[in-house]
Amino acid sequence: MTITAAADGSALKNPGPAGWAWYVDDDCWAAGGWPHGTNNIGELQAVLELFRATADVDDDLLVLCDSQYVINSVTQWMPGWKRKGWRKADGKPVMNVELLKEIDAAIQGRRYRFQWVKGHAGHDLNEAADVRARAAAEAFQRGSAVPSGPGFTRGGAAPARVAARPAERVLPEPAADTLFDGLFDLDDERAAPTHELTLRLEDGEHRRLLQRAKAAGRTPEELLRGLI
């Protein structure tokens, strides 16, 4: 059998209060977060917690993810980074290296594959994971209890293994020159030093962007960043 689950992260202001979540169905999901983090950290933590939660289950795992950064990191770039001592082609240290090392350990011996899905496009599992990741981030923003979910269950049974809520990652404020390092790093080996993105929208597209941003409680800029 194959377990199909979506994994997603959320960060308010990126960096800011951050959350992660993985979702199989309404009876099988988990979420958590930190007072301060980035969207990429949330995305990676969601994948890590999903692998941890299903570690004792002998099924294939299909991970639905809207982050090409996460998918490429795990499926393409990680072997090269490991050979280079967890450094990129330009010799700079890999961002979020501790999380990536934990994921590398968690996927050993597992049968899994990743599938990219477009974020905020109506995909049921992706939307459900996004809602829960954002709810966790907003809970940290308010200082309220985090909706952590039932963990991994089968048909409403007791959890086979519930992912422990990780210790809070209180992260230092990133330096200005590294805040968005890797944001547009769609091909790590050929990444340019700087990037400029220009997006031209027709009137109808702009209206739909504003409507989606309002419905999600985000600014248009935050919504667009979440799609990258």
Q: How far apart are alpha carbons 39 and 58 in whole angstroms?
A: 30
Q: Is residue 120 annotated as part of the catalytic site, yes or no?
A: yes
Q: Is residue 9 annotated as part of the catalytic site, yes or no?
A: yes
CB of 11 within 8 A of CB of 17?
Answer: yes
Residues in Cβ contact with 147 at an 8 Å cutoff, skipping those fewer than 6 apart? 31, 132, 135, 136, 139
In the block, residue with structure tokens 């790590």: 188
Closest CA to 57 of 161, 155, 149: 161
Catalytic residue among 32, 36, 37, 43: 43
Q: Is residue 43 annotated as part of the catalytic site, yes or no?
A: yes
Q: Is residue 123 annotated as part of the catalytic site, yes or no?
A: no
Q: How far apart are alpha carbons 49 and 222 in whole angstroms?
A: 25
Catalytic residue among 49, 66, 138, 188: 66
Helix (H) or strand (E) holding 209: helix 203-216
Residues in Cβ contact with 132 at an 8 Å cutoff, skipping those fewer than 6 apart? 8, 19, 21, 23, 29, 31, 147, 149
Question: In the numeric block, which tokens belong to residue 206?
Answer: 């702009």
Residues in Cβ contact with 168 at an 8 Å cutoff, skipping those fewer than 6 apart? 34, 35
Provide the sign of the torsion angle of the four alpha carbons 151, 155, 156, 160, taken in this order.
Answer: negative
Catalytic residue among 33, 120, 188, 222: 120
Residues in Cβ contact with 112 at an 8 Å cutoff, skipping those fewer than 6 apart? 51, 60, 61, 62, 63
Catalytic residue among 130, 138, 188, 222: 130
> Which residues are known to be catalytic?
8-9, 43, 66, 120, 130
